Structure 1
Amino acid sequence: MREICINHIDAFTTKRFAGNPAGVVLNAECLSTQEMQQITNELNLSETVFLLPPQTVENDFRVKYFTPKEEIDFCGHATVALTWLVATEMGLAQAKHGIVLETNIGNIPVTWDIKDGNINSVEMTQAAPKTKDISVDLDKLSRLLRIEKDAFDLNYPLKLANTGNWHLLIPLKNDILIDKADPDLAALDTFNKKYGVSTTHLYTFNTKQDCDLYTRDFAPSVGIAEDPVTGSANGALAGLLYYEKIISQNEPTRLIIGQGHKVERPGTLYVTITPNGTEPIIKVAGAAIVTIKGVLHL
């Protein structure tokens, strides 16, 4: 019998039972892909990340991400959770300023911020953002999301964006309307698969929460009804806002994004967008906290 140490970590929060929970499995080189999927199903969290030895000497680790349904190329909150654990419990914060992770979308650098001897947050540099147009009927979207057609805020872009996974980014007029959304998940699953997107991500600048942007994220096509706090989708959103000139293309912009309030798991992401030629550098930061540690018997 093999014993596998598992960790349950709440990401993008400093409080237990908030933010987005991720499963983290260190020393996963002894596991097959099938076992990783089975462990993810057993933990039954939106994503579980597995730490493996690197395939190239210039990187520190290789990682694989799974939802209860399938392997995915990238997951922001699981990256934050994993890096938090590596920096604290593996003690790397005393030896290094950060690490580089090999993923299916390329290398992801992650650093940590230390304050008064303790880690304050970790920050990942996401893949270069990409965007593309989508032609979609607003009447159909309103039926999918079960919101009124006049809830859409067409002063902002409704497009696809990607910093690792494709997301459909939909602007609504305020956070109240975002919280009223009650998607037809079966129909949204079909819709997302048709357009090759991982999630449907609602956003607004008009919020009473203590943040610049308020968002919600739905991902039935990868087995997640609603993702509480989404690092990859909010990174993609930042890239879209940059390309659409909603934020500055001349100097760095820092955004605070709030998510998870509707599902009573509020979390906070700190996103920095830095101009860099034709492609901005997107960095997403947040804190994390360990809530459960245990041993899985195989």
Structure 2
Amino acid sequence: MTLRSVRFKQVDVFTSQPFKGNPLAVVFDADELDTAQMQAIARWTNLSETAFLLAPTDARADYRVRIFTTQGELPFAGHPTLGSAHAFLDSGRAAKTPGRLVQECAAGLIELAQQGEEDAGAQWAFAAPPATVTPLPATQYGALRAALRSEAIDFTAQPCGVDNGAPWLVVRLASAQDVLALDIDYDALAAVASGVGAQGLAAYGAHAADGPATFEVRCLMTGLGKGEDPVTGSANAAIALLLAQQNRRPGAHYTVRQGTVMGRDGRVAINYDDMAGKIWIGGAAITVVDGSIQLA
């Protein structure tokens, strides 16, 4: 069998400190790989997602990406979007427009922008993609309480399914501590979430004014594999959208801590650009593994 070697990186996303964010495997020059091969590699890396970089088919895009979990392909996901952008630039490739990137994926074109000056530790952010919002019927509130084993759900902020390419059931808790204390019945939660087309829970609650961030977030997956995701761009985009729609925005910008119960310290920055009508989801990323991978 003849093998070929292509560039491979493993990056940690939503952190500037190795092993504290959400890891992503990135395979470069993946144009000759078919879906089955990509899925096999994603199962082998055994990370929450593996991204495959390909030549774009849309002239407006800097690159194209296909995103796989160990179970299947996703049309869009947040931490692979930021991680792929970091890997693309870290490999020495240049953006068509300085300070801007356009990612082509199954969900369409995703815009990314550099936040801050390069010499001051600039981070990148993606513009939250369009989403559909489906309110959870009040008849399901009891089932939601039982699934979360919590009486701290803030139903004044109506729980909703938000699908921006990765469908989440967004639920507000009374406090950050209530988020950290959740003890999930995954099977029961899957039944509730599926009713609004969601494949996981995005739970959030506010920290005190002097806390480590504006909100604490936890993301519990019920679809393609059950378990907790360390730091989640798509879910934070869903939360940010719902905060705006429910008139609960804490300001023009806010911060999130995620991954705490997993021993991580993910940090997400959300900025509302009202002039452009965009919500930017940003954070740091760092390369942890840089080398090559052998492909058949």
- Fold shared per TM-score above 0.5: yes
> Separation in 2 of the partners of 1:195 and 1:144?
15
1:162 correspondence with 2:163: yes
Deviation at 1:8, TM superposition (A): 1.3
Taking the TM superposition and a 5 Å limit, the aligned residue runs for 1:86-125 are 86-92=88-94, 96-113=98-115, 115=117, 117=119, 119-125=121-127
Distance 1:224 1:79, change over 3 A: farther
Equivalent residues in 2 for 1:251-290, closer than 5 Å: 253-275=252-274, 280-290=277-287
Structure 2 counterpart of 1:66, one-letter code: F
User: Could you tell me which residue of structure 2 aligns to residue 177 of structure 1?
Assistant: 178
What secondary structure sits across from 2:158 in the alignment? coil
SS in 2 for 1:110: strand
User: Residues 189 and 295 from structure 1, CA distance in 2 versus in 1: closer, same or farther, beyond 3 angstroms?
Assistant: farther
Cα-to-partner distance string for 1:35-93 (whole Å, 9 max, x where unaligned): 11111111111111111111121222111111111101111011111111222222426
Q: Percent identity?
A: 27
Q: For each residue in 1:160-209, what CA deviation from the matched residue of structure 2 results, as whole angstroms up to 9, or x when unmatched?
A: 22333221011111122211212222443444344321321101124574
CA drift at 1:276: 5.5
Query: Which aligned runs of 4 or more in structure 1 are off by greater than 4 angstroms?
Result: none
Give me the CA root mean square deviation.
2.2
Residues 1-298 of structure 1: matches in 2 within 5 Å? Answer: 1-92=3-94, 96-113=98-115, 115=117, 117=119, 119-135=121-137, 136-145=139-148, 147-148=149-150, 150-207=151-208, 209-247=211-249, 253-275=252-274, 280-297=277-294, 298=296
Cα–Cα, structure 1 residues 162 and 67, in superposed 2: closer, same or farther, change >3 Å?
same
Deviation at 1:107, TM superposition (A): 0.6
* SS of 2:257 mapped into structure 1: strand
The question of whether the paired residues in 1 share the 8 Å contact of 2:135 and 2:158 is answered with no
Judged with a 3 Å threshold, the aligned counterparts in structure 2 of structure 1 residues 293 and 185 are, in CA distance, closer, same or farther, namely farther
Q: Aligned partners of 1:169 and 1:129: how far apart in 2?
A: 13
- In structure 2, what residue type is equivalent to 1:49? A
- TM (norm. structure 2) is 0.90
**8 A contact 1:130–1:161 mirrored in 2:** yes
Which stretch shifts more, 151-160 or 26-35?
151-160
How far apart, in 1, do the equivalents of 2:275 and 2:158 lie?
22
1:113–1:152 Cα change, 3 Å: closer
Alignment check: 8 A CA contact 1:153 1:173 kept: yes
SS state at 1:92 partner: coil
- SS at 1:13 equivalent: coil
Where do 5+ consecutive residues of structure 1 fail to align? none
TM-score where L is the length of structure 1:
0.89
Which structure 2 residue ranges, 5 or more long, are not aligned? none
- Partner Cα distance (2:226, 2:275) in 1: 34
Structure 1 CA distance for aligned equivalents of residues 237 and 47 of structure 2: 21
